[in-house]
Amino acid sequence: MMDTFRNFGQSWVAKILMILIALSFVLWGVSGYLFSGNSSSSTVAAVDGQKISDTVFQKRMKDVQARYNHVFGAATAAKMVEDKSFGLDVLNGLINNMLLGAEARRLGLRVPDTALAKKIESIPAFQEKGVFSKSHYQKLLAANGMTPAQFEGMLRASMRMEQLQVIPQAIATASNAEATRVWAWSQEYRDVSAVDIRDADFAVAAKPTSAEVAAYYHANVDQFQLPAQLQVQYVVLGPKDFVGKRLSPTNPASNVSAVAAEQSAASFNSQAENAFQAQVENFKDLLFSSPDGLAAVAKAYNLKIQESGMLTAGRVLAQGPFADARALDLAFSKAVLAGKNSTALRLANGDLLAVHLLHYTPGSTQPLSAVVRSITAKLSSAKAKKLAKNKAQALLAAARQAKDMNVLTDGGAHPLHTYLDITRRNGQGLDNAALAAAFTTPAPVDGIPSMDMVKTPSGYQILAITHVTAPSAAAINPKVAAQIRTSLEEQRSRLLSIAYLKDLREHAKVEINDAQLAQIAH
């Protein structure tokens, strides 16, 4: 995603679009009237009583998608919008805008006309040969669907909010000494010795007895239940089953002739939807009046009776109607298990689903003999991990007391591995967890190794830091120090700004209608 932004933002045309996107993200709906909606609109969220209507929220999402389409192309924009977090991100943006706008008004922040004009004239996208061009400015805005008044209103609000960043920026300072310490930290070399205490080394000692296995089985018998399974026949009725057909007035459940070919596709779809809705109750009645199978309803609507695969209670499928948990519950309903047709279930796409049982296998408890091996493996693994941890802790304590890393080998039982001149970017074979620990463990003092232990995928690793090589502060390039200082200040400012916004939100009454958000965002 970031590559897309970076690659796009090279031309001035792109930059004006990015300005518009940034402003629309930051400022859309700062004015209160944009959030009031109308009396018929549902509320998606509210901030201190000020509402964000579903009308405004949907308009905002469409606006964001339209600008994505304009900048990144329809294909990339579609992927961005399909992300599950898209709707919530848009809503949080609106909420943050309201909080910042209210804070700016509370503080009485203002942007003089002269400052606004100077800001606009300084934007290179609006210049020709380095000089601001009013005609060029107006043309660029018009090409992006904005008037000067709209753009200037958004920019003024943006500049007002920028004033809120003065305090974080003033506080987020970094010194040359801090920059030098960060540089020295990144340039360290360390020599490390280590021993591995593996879980597998304790497999034999960790093997449980038969009594322990049996005790675990009886104490956790619920873990060894085989869920109920069944297979059903099913039919699905939807508007698609009425496209190009009309219903006989004498028998509304039969299809007798095609609709005139000259009708438009839109009319086709509308008539099919209407015909489907008119038959919903009749479909339900047929299921009830012929409960012993789906043949009657399938014949009435010319539907294909399909068979599910094996369905397991509580496990939805990856695709098809039984990817819906409600459809799975329908298959395991009391009526279906009693051999009757199910009721009609309205699926997420609006279609109706009905099922009838083919065969059923009730749930059962697996005998101990069937699960003894899995229990043994589980108990053995857990005990081996505990034994390995206890051993590593004991060796580390003994080595620290003796101030001798050779104690870690436990008389040669655990080989000592040496890693020379490791850096934060090159662990010379140490895994990531051990490498991180190697640089958080203190440097050795008076030749005595500094030791610590870390959890690894195979068990535990005990580390001994034997030597640290740190660069001289005088070796740092002044330009590098300046870059590090700038980076530190930017990071601190960003964190302070995030904390500031978080504080505003915590002290405001923010209410989100999750059900309404889910309905609109999906």
Q: Whole-number mean pLDDT of the chain?
A: 85
pLDDT at position 106: 85
pLDDT value at 247 more than 80 = no
pLDDT value at 262 more than 60 = no
- Taking only the tens place, the pLDDT of each residue in 342-399 is 999 999 999 999 999 999 999 999 999 999 999 999 999 999 999 999 999 999 999 9
pLDDT value at 4 more than 50 = no
Residues 207 and 376: beta-carbon distance below 8 Å: yes
pLDDT value at 158 more than 90 = no
pLDDT tier, 260 (very low <50, low <70, confident <90, very high otherwise): very low
pLDDT value at 257 more than 50 = no
Q: Distance of alpha carbon 483 from its chain centroid, rounded? A: 33
What is the average pLDDT across 416-444? 92
CA distances from 122 to 119, 126, 133, 137 (A): 5, 8, 11, 12
pTM of the model: 0.52
What is the average pLDDT across 441-445? 93
pLDDT value at 67 more than 90 = no
Element (H, E) at 451: strand 450-456
Residues 373 and 381: beta-carbon distance below 8 Å: no
Residues 29 and 20: beta-carbon distance below 8 Å: no
pLDDT at position 218: 95
- Block residue for tokens 């069944």: 230
Highest mean pLDDT: which of 53-62, 129-138, 282-291? 282-291
- Taking only the tens place, the pLDDT of each residue in 166-217 is 767 777 788 888 888 888 888 899 999 999 999 999 999 999 999 999 999 9
The C-alpha atoms of residue 81 and residue 128 are separated, in whole angstroms, by 35
pLDDT at position 402: 96
Question: CB within 8 A of 54, min separation 6: which ones?
Answer: 37, 41, 42, 43, 44, 516, 520
